Amino acid sequence: MWITNSVEADFFIVFANSDPSKGYKGITAFVVEKSAKGFSIAKKEKKLGIRASSTCVINFDDVEIPKDQLLGEEGQGYKYAIGLLNEGRIGIAAQMTGLALGAWENAAGYVWNDRKQFNQYVGEFQGMQHQLAQAYTEICAARALVYNASRKKEAGLDFVRDAAMAKLYASQVAGRVSGQAIEWMGGMGFVREGIAEKMFRDSKIGAIYEGTSNIQLTTIAKLLQKDYTR
């Protein structure tokens, strides 16, 4: 379930337990082509956001694949999956940071150039300026976390905690800023003519995939405890 880009993909990386007696050490990665006998794309989910990307259920009905479609080493699937998940969190953090910035720029441009109340642009009111400044500061902080996690990953350093922090915070900022942007824009933010409401809907997935926000908090706390326990 929840397989991203199922409709568009020509092949899938499938993690299956080839030796259940070994527990997670029996998990192996395989390449399965869409044309494989017994493999089919089933229900396409109707989602709140990120609707441009298909998310589907896929079915396996006695699928058989040749041995040469094993990916990597047998029994190393869990290790590969966790490594990809940790690295993927940096990507989601970058996605959410970009979404937050896009929502901010769209709304800021509107309140400073178009929307007027009481004979002045809404963006000129101090109360609005403070919100814009706070939101932009948080976006920059999220971006710094993304860059730091990326730096450590490229340098071959331990980046797991940094990736979790970046993903956690960037998703929080994306949800907060995209929601505020709708309020800043008033009616024009609430209607579906523009992109403000779309960004708000798209932001929600950031707290869910590649590990929920609670999972990020657990990961961060466990690694901190490891470093600070005598």
Catalytic positions:
210
The residue ranges of DSSP E strands in the chain, in sequence order, are 3-4, 11-17, 27-33, 39-44, 55-60, 70-71, 116-117, 120-121
* Euclidean distance between CA atoms 115 and 101, whole angstroms: 20
The three state secondary structure string of 8-37 is: CCCEEEEEEECCHHHHHHHEEEEEEECCCC
Q: Contact at 8 Å (CB) between 42 and 57?
A: yes
Q: Is 6 in a helix, a strand, or coil?
A: coil
The residue ranges of DSSP E strands in 98-139, in sequence order, are 116-117, 120-121
**Six-digit token string for 221:** 């706390």
Enumerate the β-bridge partners of residue 56.
Answer: 3, 44
* Euclidean distance between CA atoms 134 and 142, whole angstroms: 12
